[in-house]
Amino acid sequence: MENLLLGSGLVLGAYVLIYYNLIKGSRCRSSRSLKGKTVIITGGNTGIGKTTALDLARRGARIILACRSKERGESAVYDIRRESGNQQVLFLKLDLASLASVRQFADAFLKSEPQLDILINNAGVSSDGATEEGFNLMFGVNHLGHFLLTHLLLERLKRCTPSRIVILASNAYRNGKIDFGALNMPTGGWKQNFQAYCDSKLANILYARELATRLQGTNVTCYAVHPAVLCLAGVVRTELFRYMKLWMKVLVFPIAWLFFRDCTDGAQTSIHCAVQEGIEPFSGRFFANCRVKEVRSHARDDAVAKKLWEVSESMVGLAG
């Protein structure tokens, strides 16, 4: 019995050390007020997006939740207003799997809101399927939808400088590759789905890099962020898991509850890049755990980043 208690204590102690030193991660330390600022957060009705929205609402910002579901979006608006005491939290419908919806959202926003100071491209999917235009769903939502959205809102951001763009990427980029001959390949099976997700996250980082280059001298800065811990699997417990097959959920959930970060911890780097003063010189860089992190060489390929931009322009109908 004593050996069992001793063993249990050692296991518990080890877990506490691992959690607080490796999993929990850094917190955003900025107390900056956002009164008078307007923020768009895609996918702000749940998970990291909702947690980020709540934090920025508590700082006094006017928050636009850009979400696909009207019911869930309005429910999140109610929750955030109640918890923050900020009534300047609104819902606008946006389906990133439809370029037509992206254009409608941008048009509605620009007609109704005179200001945009922070754009947080937070929404993402990890399931197979296709967008309304027939693009691979993960590449279409995680990259193309946000690419078009940012382009359509860029002039408003330039008019409200200093302004920022935050792009949720992931350490999954490490396994990603940009194959211009297969950007729109259909997926099926967990291996193909995982690869497509990694590819879309690499696209996020390359996009931030090229965007920063094109924004030099405008006082608009952008940052790619990894929402989870650096040294473990790099996954936050969010509703992204809802896209998993049942058998995968059974395997992953017990581990997730023990070793993956919750949404409050996972949102810290997004919040940091939205509000922290003095990070402007790092525009286009990748942040993790509220710090700049060097990426691998394939995520620093400026030629690929430039070509990806040009191909993306063509895919969303901006070229020519």
Sorted by where each begins, the domain ranges of the chain are 27-228+265-315
| Residue 194 buriedness (CB in 10 A; 0-12 / 13-18 / 19+) | middle
Average per-residue pLDDT for the chain: 87
Sheet with 163-168: list strands edge to edge. 89-93, 62-67, 38-42, 118-121, 163-168, 220-226, 286-288, 291-293
What confidence tens digit (pLDDT) does each residue in 74-83 have?
999 999 999 9
Which listed residue (15, 20, 173, 197) is catalytic?
197
Is 197 known to be catalytic? yes
CA dist 158 and 63 (Å) reads: 19
The reply to whether CATH 3.40.50.150 applies to domain 27-228+265-315 is no
Token pair in block for residue 189: 């099976």
pTM: 0.85
Dist CA 199 CA 142 (whole Å): 10
- pLDDT confidence tier of residue 251, bands split at 50, 70 and 90: low
Q: Tell the residue number behind the tokens 């193909």, with chain if given.
A: 192
pLDDT at 21 over 50: no
C-alpha distance from residue 160 to each of 102, 113, 119, 241 (Å): 21, 12, 12, 36
Res. 308 pLDDT band, cuts 50 70 90 = very high
- Report the half-sphere exposure of 127 (CA within 13 A, side-chain side): 13
Which pair of structure tokens corresponds to residue 252?
């992953």
At position 20, the amino acid (one-letter code) is: Y
